[in-house]
């Protein structure tokens, strides 16, 4: 059975972080009930249209843990989730407690992704982020007590007031929580955010490169392995859902601004919660647009995603001038070196489709290509 994923987008936040361009709103509380109900209807309609068995679910946002957990699990309950599926909810450490986790677990959630970003208060402040680092520790304790074993921690490095020792402290404090998965993202300046308008707070490339190397050292030292440029995990705990995005699998996006991929066709939903609710209530399509890439373009996109993964790509795809950035094994598979990971975009833009791969990939399912380090599944255009 092929993997099939569901992404569920909860577009509500208590406050907008200064770096964030995801499709989220802080002033739409009055829409929460209608929106969650509309998502439940979209899920039910997709099941009615013969949805395949679901092998992974990712509830993201926004801040899913901000909404009434009953409304959230009512959407999950509609889905044909297989036994052993990975079911993740993205949580903000400020808006979780034991009861909420107990409720999630009773409805099949077995993994949380905690938006930690930094364990240092002045760095959180520099990111325009509110939570108290102590809440991270409490959140992890409560999640584990509820039976959620799988834990991802999201981190961001490169805030202007973050020293190298602040970053190392964040890594060390975070590792005390024994996560089985860590996503560490270079702070990216997105148009339409508060940071975009404040050049004094923009990150420095050399500082970010050094922080990446320190992350690698700390995470590998703690028993995690890098399997995608921004993602590390213990053995077997790679995020099955994100691997779908990176390997060209099929997935359906539920909710506003959510993206989907089905057998080479990509489509995305209307951007705002208002338009989403209104489309669902009036029985019109929530799809805002779609595209089908030519086989060559699809093959190239897939290569650009896969070169970022530790399983690598055929060496024939790697341009001569960047060969020094990959290690090639006896089977002709090229994997980025550590220096190569720092310069992955240089390698990716020079990739070419090897002839035999071109023939093979033309008939394969190719997924969408996130163009930066941000998590896939939802667009992140400014409001
Ligand atoms: C879709 S966001 C939502 C996570 C959740 N709402 C939270 O913040 O706790 C997922 C992750 O993307 C990362 N992210 C978002 N915007 C970013 C940016 N501009 N630069 C780097 N990482 C970013 C953050 O690590 C964040 O936790
Ligand atoms: S980073 Fe997370 S909490 Fe902050 S605004 Fe974006 S989605 Fe909301």
The closest of 310, 245, 265 to 60, measured between CA atoms, is: 245
For 83, the 3-state DSSP assignment is: strand
The HSE-up count of residue 302 (CA atoms within 13 Å, CB side) is: 26
Alpha carbon distance 78, 250 (integer Å): 19
Q: Write out residues in the chain with pLDDT < 70, as ranges.
A: 355-383
Alpha carbon distance 213, 337 (integer Å): 12
Nearest CA to ligand 2 atom 5: 16
**C-alpha torsion sign, points 83, 84, 86, 87:** positive
pLDDT at residue 362, as a whole number: 34
pLDDT at residue 181, as a whole number: 98
Tokens coding 93: 């450490």
* Domains annotated on the chain, with CATH: 4-246 (3.20.20.70), 295-361 (no CATH)
Is any ligand 2 atom within 6 A of the Cβ of residue 16?
yes
Is any ligand 2 atom within 6 A of the Cβ of residue 194?
no
pLDDT at residue 68, as a whole number: 97
54-61 and 81-91 strand pairing = parallel
Q: How far is the CA of 257 from the centre of ligand 2 (A)?
A: 15
Best residue among 8, 10, 14, 24 to mutate for probing ligand 2's pocket (most ligand atoms within 8 Å of CB) is 24
Residue 85 burial class via C-beta count within 10 angstroms: exposed 0-12, middle 13-18, buried 19 and up: buried
pLDDT at residue 266, as a whole number: 95
pLDDT at residue 251, as a whole number: 98
Ligand nearest to the CA of 182: 1
Quote the pTM value. 0.93
**Ligand 2 atom index nearest CA of 13:** 8
CA 229 to chain centre: 13
**Ligand 1 atom index nearest CA of 116:** 9
pLDDT at residue 379, as a whole number: 55
Q: How far is the CA of 114 from the centre of ligand 2 (A)?
A: 11
pLDDT tens across 293-350, in order? Answer: 888 888 999 999 999 999 999 999 999 999 999 999 999 999 999 999 999 999 999 9
């Amino acid at each position: 059975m092929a993997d099939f994923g569901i992404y569920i987008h909860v577009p509500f936040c208590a406050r907008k972080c200064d770096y964030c361009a995801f499709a989220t709103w802080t002033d739409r509380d009055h829409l929460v009930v209608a929106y969650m109900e509309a998502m439940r209807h979209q899920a039910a309609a997709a099941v009615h249209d013969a949805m395949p068995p679901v092998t992974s679910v990712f509830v993201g946002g926004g801040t899913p843990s901000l909404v009434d957990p009953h409304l959230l699990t009512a959407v999950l309950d509609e889905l044909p989730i297989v036994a052993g599926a990975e079911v993740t909810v993205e949580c903000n450490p400020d808006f979780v407690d034991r009861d909420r986790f107990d409720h999630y677990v009773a409805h099949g959630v077995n993994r949380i992704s905690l938006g930690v970003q930094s364990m240092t208060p002045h760095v959180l402040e520099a990111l325009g982020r509110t939570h108290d680092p102590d809440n991270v520790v409490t959140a992890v304790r409560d999640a584990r007590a509820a039976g959620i074993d799988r834990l991802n921690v999201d981190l961001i490095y490169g805030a202007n007031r973050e020293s190298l020792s602040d970053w190392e402290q964040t890594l060390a404090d975070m590792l005390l929580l024994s996560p089985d998965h860590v996503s560490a993202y270079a702070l990216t300046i997105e148009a339409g955010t508060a940071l975009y308008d404040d050049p004094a707070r923009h990150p420095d490339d050399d500082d970010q490169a050094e922080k990446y190397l320190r992350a690698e050292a700390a995470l590998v030292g703690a028993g995690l392995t890098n399997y995608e440029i921004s993602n590390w995990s213990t053995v077997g705990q790679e995020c099955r859902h994100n691997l779908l995005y990176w390997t060209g699998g099929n997935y359906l996006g539920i909710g506003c601004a959510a993206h989907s991929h089905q057998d080479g066709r990509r489509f995305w939903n209307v951007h705002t919660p208002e338009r989403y609710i209104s489309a669902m209530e009036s029985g019109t399509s929530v799809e805002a647009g779609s595209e089908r890439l030519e086989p060559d373009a699809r093959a190239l996109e897939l290569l650009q995603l896969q070169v970022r993964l530790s399983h690598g790509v055929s060496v024939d795809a790697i341009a001569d001038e960047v060969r020094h950035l990959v290690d090639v094994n006896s089977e002709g598979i090229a994997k980025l070196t550590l220096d190569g990971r720092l310069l992955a975009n240089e390698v990716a833009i020079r990739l070419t489709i090897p002839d035999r791969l071109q023939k093979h990939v033309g008939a394969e399912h190719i997924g969408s290509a996130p163009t930066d380090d941000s998590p896939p599944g939802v667009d992140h255009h400014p409001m």
